[in-house]
Amino acid sequence: MREGFQYIHNKIKVEIKISTAKKRININNMLTKKIWLIIGAFAILSTGVVGVNAYLSKKAASVAENFKEELLEGSTSTELEVISSTSEIDTSDWKTYRNEEYGFEIKYPPTWNLNSIAYPRIFMNSSNIKYIEESIIEGASLSISIIGSIVDDSITKNPKIVDDPKIWLDHLWKDNNCDERPCVPPPPYFKNSLIVAGRKAVKAEEYTIPGPMIHVYVGRDEKIYDISILFSEKDKQNYEKILDEVISTFNFTNGGM
């Protein structure tokens, strides 16, 4: 009798162990399936993110390329253009900004505000400037940036860059291999050559996230002076004229680093 009870007891223990083992196998199978589902979902998500990034990069490159084509169609000749004051804009009451440290002075419209001076960059904003998120929808922002050899050592390596900023602009493209492959964002596109304050200069244009931006680069004393204006697309013609007028007032002073 005792042996019979022992037999039944052992059988129950074996069945319990088998049942427990089956449950563990089922649980492991369920966990394995869930893990693979998670891995699969993550892989799909990752592929989607990569796809979105690739799409955005491709779209940005496409926008940049279209912008380049439009700019090249409307570009002027490479002959030097002397920027001088026009009678279209009255500058008699314009404010004067003079910087002894970097040796230059420039005039800007009386309603514009000297927004900030974060050397080596100075900002002047029109009083009606407005943004929606990151895009400028009204007004303009003028900036003067001083690019020295500390920022770009090519200025020290090639002194001719200062005498002819077109060489420096070409260097930006070649240094990033942008002539051989799309660069996002690309450097500013050459527009035309100028004479500013008696020195060779270049005008260039780029399309940034906030809006279109026109640059005028002129060099002196191992520095490139970048006078640029950011504006809304609808006001391009107006603010390009204002930039030209501002550039006509730009002069180097005896000071400067």
**Which two structure tokens, joined as six digits, stand for 152?**
């770009």
Indicate left, alpha or beta for 77 from its phi (over 0: left) and psi (-120 to 50: alpha): beta
Q: Of 36, 54, 74, which marks where a domain is finished?
A: 74
Do residue 205 and residue 184 come from a single domain?
yes
The answer to whether the CB of 183 falls within 8 A of the CB of 176 is yes
Please report, in tens digits, the pLDDT of each residue of the chain (257 residues total).
444 444 444 544 445 444 554 455 454 555 455 444 444 544 444 444 444 444 444 544 555 555 555 544 544 445 555 555 555 788 889 999 999 889 999 999 999 999 877 768 899 999 999 999 889 999 999 999 999 877 777 887 887 889 999 998 998 888 777 766 777 778 899 999 999 999 999 999 998 888 999 999 999 988 999 999 999 888 888 999 999 999 999 999 975 55
CA distance 83 to 207: 23
What is the tally of structural domains in the chain?
A: 2
Do residue 51 and residue 170 come from a single domain?
no
Do residue 49 and residue 85 come from a single domain?
no
State which residues form the domain around 85: 79-252
Do residue 136 and residue 234 come from a single domain?
yes
Question: End-to-end CA distance of the chain, in Å?
Answer: 110
Given this model, what pLDDT does residue 28 score? Answer: 52
Given this model, what pLDDT does residue 195 score? Answer: 95
Do residue 122 and residue 221 come from a single domain?
yes
- Whether 125 is covered by a domain: the verdict is yes
Do residue 143 and residue 203 come from a single domain?
yes
Do residue 216 and residue 145 come from a single domain?
yes
Residues in CB range of 61: below 8 A, 6 or more apart: 182, 184
Q: Of 21, 41, 74, which marks where a domain is finished?
A: 74
DSSP 19-85: HHHHHHHHHHHHHHHHHHHHHHHHHHHHHHHHHHHHHHHHHHHHHHHHHHHHHHHT---SS-EE---
Do residue 83 and residue 70 come from a single domain?
no
Given this model, what pLDDT does residue 66 score? Answer: 54
Given this model, what pLDDT does residue 154 score? Answer: 80
The residue written with tokens 């920022």 in the block is 151
